[in-house]
């Protein structure tokens, strides 16, 4: 699967996003992003705060400038981008300093036990369901296992009888993880991408249902930059797969690009594999593949991560392009009658559904469901936009944060759909076993559960076998959904998870998060893993910022490229609203975000440091002028822009957090985390930002950098590391908010 942007640890983990997963979908990024001791495992515990250790190592400011479009830009910490003994010594010293402080935080032991009790609760979780050959394939997470396992079962009701196919960490490497898996149509084999150390550098393994290898391993099919995918032929004797350049085929620094589609026939040497598609496509092309029962192949191609698509079809006549970049077709899939179903944004930024015969052309496509006030959810990183039965089509609609599922006939007339709770999120998976559907539904305060949906009636039946009750209850909490007014008058939704009866007098401590990028929707997810904070009176707030997809492509475009500053203005407005409405106050506010949300944190640190008491920024992007020089950074130019374009350079420089650090600023307490093996955001981003902030700090609040040597951006993280970082982060937040831990 793809280089799916990872939302903040708070959203992805505490709020349960990624719990569902579709075809080949990676396990949820889940907390913590980049966490754990350098050697793995949980944090040392020394309850009762001791005197802080000596200060962190100082980074020397070394003269370095670049001139772009006539502007001279200083970069005194460029040397921290290197992979040298000097850089490692500085980074290790920063990590030791951060952990010494974090390990000594009051109540860390109690918090770690609570975090462990949640993640290692004696319940088994399932997700990522895929139906093939009369069987259901899924990931399974058991409380005593470091990684998710791959299992197969006869039905969701018989999950307890699931057969283990693969435990990736069984050999003793707790960082060995499943990136994604795709079963063959007959359900007798499964292709699995496996990577280690959070690298997301996956090799393809073809296994039988006993976990036995059936083929030699195929390397370089998946990476954290462009992701990866495969699609089996109908007879299960071969598959189309994504292939990164091998050594010698491209310069070493370009081997994370130029992905192509190849075909492998089982039982034949990899050297005889056949090239299919990609040589004439952009350097930053990414792919999603599908094959129908007739053997026709669909290839969706995205140019980087900005939401521009082409679509190709291979049939008896060979490959042909169905839709070009400017056609605004964001999804194409095979229908039950052999036709094609498309979601188009052409003249409809919130999406419309089209239908066309495979022999036709795009101009002949017929409208089935017109654009509405709500947005059809499409994701290049998950399953198809629509789920089709013989006489129904189900679409998921985004409602500005929450989402819902609606049913239509094939003629586009509204039909009876499932009755889902308000202010919740849902996810639909086709179940070809019995013609029903699997539906996942959850809210911020109601645990997620799987249901069986009868398409004809819309009736939902809970599937208890794969819907275990979480170890905590949030019955004492409610969700307030309010609107903040941004700098330009835009209304920005806030989701406030609030203790029932708590006083609105500005004294309640709050943690606020947001993302605002890539068209990603921040939809509700059960916040049970934040119980160590919630149970101590902390409120949690999720802001649905521009740059996301909550209100369609226009909402996304309003927060990308030269309009990225809108995202930061939206988040600042969210804080102002919370403070003005007396939910909390600046001295009782911690903000938190990861990856693109880490960039958001950097912008807030440099633009509005007075609006919060502390910041947690994880695997973040801070130097916007050099991000495109890293492999995944080039994929992101379609979202952020490039310094090669003068207008985009001007916008990037205007908000680039690293370049906006001003000496003498009183920065709030800051905890930054990164993973040494991160393929999506280079660790040097955090190193340079911390060095600049520490040198400029005009106050006495700590600025900490915590680095994991055994993880990356968050995918494939061992459970012990997850527990370790969540405990450190929660303890840091409570410490800064002045909340006593007992």
Q: Where exactly are the structural domains of the chain? A: 9-18+32-118+471-737
Q: What's the pTM value of the predicted model, to 2 decimals?
A: 0.90
Element (H, E) at 494: strand 491-499
In terms of C-beta density within 10 A (0-12 exposed, 13-18 middle, 19 or more buried), how is residue 389 classed?
Answer: middle
Q: How far apart are the first and last CA of the chain?
A: 43
Task: Name the superfamily (CATH) of residues 9-18+32-118+471-737.
Answer: Alpha/Beta hydrolase fold, catalytic domain (3.40.50.1820)
Element (H, E) at 495: strand 491-499
pLDDT of residue 379: 72
User: Which SS3 state, helix, strand or coil, does residue 656 take?
Assistant: coil
In terms of C-beta density within 10 A (0-12 exposed, 13-18 middle, 19 or more buried), how is residue 450 classed?
Answer: buried
Question: Mean pLDDT, 10 residues at a time, over the chain (742 residues)?
Answer: 37 41 33 31 51 80 97 97 94 95 94 93 92 94 91 95 96 91 97 90 96 97 91 98 94 90 98 97 94 95 90 95 96 91 95 91 94 88 74 92 94 92 81 76 94 88 94 96 98 98 97 95 94 96 96 95 98 98 98 95 98 96 94 87 97 98 98 80 92 97 88 69 91 96 84
Give residues with Cβ within 8 angstroms of 623, minimum separation 6.
Answer: 75, 656, 657, 658, 659, 685, 688, 689
CA distances in angstroms from 678 to 200, 223, 635, 716, 734, listed in the order given: 8, 11, 15, 11, 28
In terms of C-beta density within 10 A (0-12 exposed, 13-18 middle, 19 or more buried), how is residue 642 classed?
Answer: middle
CA distances in angstroms from 303 to 277, 288, 324, 330, 639, listed in the order given: 15, 12, 11, 12, 10
- List for the chain the helix, strand, coil content (%; round to 5): 25, 30, 45
Q: How far apart are CA 400 and CA 485, in angstroms?
A: 15
pLDDT of residue 42: 60
């Amino acid at each position: 699967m793809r280089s799916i942007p990872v939302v903040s640890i708070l959203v992805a983990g505490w709020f349960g996003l990624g719990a569902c997963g579709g075809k080949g979908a990676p396990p949820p990024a889940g907390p913590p992003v980049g966490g754990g001791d350098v050697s793995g495992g949980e944090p040392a515990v020394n309850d009762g705060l001791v005197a802080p250790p000596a200060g962190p190592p100082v980074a020397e400011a070394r003269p370095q400038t670049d001139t772009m479009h006539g502007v001279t830009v200083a970069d005194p910490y460029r040397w921290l981008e290197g992979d040298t003994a000097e850089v490692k010594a500085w980074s290790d010293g920063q990590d030791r300093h951060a952990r010494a402080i974090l390990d000594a935080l009051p109540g860390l032991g109690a918090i770690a036990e609570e975090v462990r009790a949640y993640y290692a609760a004696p319940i088994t979780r399932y997700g990522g369901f895929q139906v093939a050959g009369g069987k259901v394939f899924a990931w399974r997470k058991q409380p005593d296992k470091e990684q998710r396992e791959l299992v197969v079962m006869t039905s969701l009701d018989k999950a307890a009888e699931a057969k283990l196919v693969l435990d990736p960490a069984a050999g003793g490497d707790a960082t060995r993880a499943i990136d994604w898996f795709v079963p063959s149509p007959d359900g007798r084999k499964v292709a699995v991408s496996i990577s280690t150390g959070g690298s997301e550098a996956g090799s393809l393994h073809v296994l039988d249902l006993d976990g036995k290898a059936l083929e030699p391993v195929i390397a370089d099919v998946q990476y954290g930059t462009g992701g990866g995918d495969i699609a089996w032929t109908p007879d299960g004797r071969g598959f189309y797969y994504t292939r990164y350049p091998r050594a010698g085929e491209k310069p070493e620094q370009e081997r994370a690009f130029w992905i192509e589609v190849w075909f492998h026939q089982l039982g034949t040497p990899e050297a005889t594999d056949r090239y299919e598609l990609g040589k004439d496509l952009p350097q930053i092309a990414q792919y999603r593949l599908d094959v129908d029962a007739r053997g026709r192949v669909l290839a969706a191609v995205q140019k980087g991560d900005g939401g521009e698509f082409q679509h190709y079809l291979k049939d008896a006549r060979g490959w042909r392009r169905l839709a070009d970049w400017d056609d605004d077709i964001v999804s194409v899939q095979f229908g039950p009658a052999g036709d094609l179903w498309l979601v188009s944004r052409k003249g409809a930024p919130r999406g419309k559904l089209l239908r066309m015969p495979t022999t036709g052309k795009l101009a002949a496509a017929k409208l089935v469901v017109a654009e509405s006030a709500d947005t059809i959810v499409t994701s290049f990183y998950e399953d198809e936009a629509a789920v089709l039965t013989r006489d129904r089509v189900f679409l998921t609609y985004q409602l500005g944060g929450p989402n819902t599922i609606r049913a239509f006939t094939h003629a586009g007339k509204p039909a009876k759909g499932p009755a889902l709770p308000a202010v919740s999120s849902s996810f639909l998976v086709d179940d070809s076993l019995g013609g029903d559907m699997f539906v996942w539904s959850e809210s911020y305060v109601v645990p997620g559960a799987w249901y069986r949906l009868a398409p004809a009636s819309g009736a939902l039946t809970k599937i208890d076998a794969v819907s275990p009750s979480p170890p905590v209850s949030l019955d004492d909490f409610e969700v307030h959904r309010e609107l903040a007014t941004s700098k330009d008058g835009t209304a920005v939704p806030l989701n406030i998870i609030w203790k029932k009866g708590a006083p609105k007098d500005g004294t309640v401590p709050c943690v606020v998060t947001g993302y605002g990028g890539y068209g990603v929707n921040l939809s509700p997810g059960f916040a049970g893993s934040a119980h160590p904070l919630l149970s101590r009176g902390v409120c949690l707030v999720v802001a649905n910022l521009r740059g996301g997809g909550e209100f369609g492509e226009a909402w996304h475009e309003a927060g990308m490229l030269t309009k990225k500053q809108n995202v930061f203005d939206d988040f600042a407005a969210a804080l102002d609203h919370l403070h003005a409405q007396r939910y909390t106050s600046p001295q009782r506010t911690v903000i938190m975000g990861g990856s693109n949300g880490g960039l958001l944190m950097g912008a807030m640190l440099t633009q509005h440091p007075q609006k919060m008491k502390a910041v947690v920024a994880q695997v973040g992007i801070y130097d916007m002028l050099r991000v495109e020089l890293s492999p995944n950074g080039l994929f992101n130019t379609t979202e952020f822009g490039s310094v090669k374009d003068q207008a985009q350079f001007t916008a990037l420089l205007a908000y680039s957090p690293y370049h906006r650090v001003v000496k003498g600023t009183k920065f709030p307490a800051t905890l930054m985390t990164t993973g040494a093996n991160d393929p999506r955001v280079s660790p040097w981003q955090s190193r340079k930002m911390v060095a600049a902030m520490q040198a400029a700090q005009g106050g006495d609040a700590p600025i900490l950098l915590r680095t994991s040597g055994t993880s990356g951006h968050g995918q494939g993280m061992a459970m012990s590391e997850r527990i370790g970082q969540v405990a450190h982060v929660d303890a840091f937040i409570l410490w800064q908010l002045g909340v006593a831990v007992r």
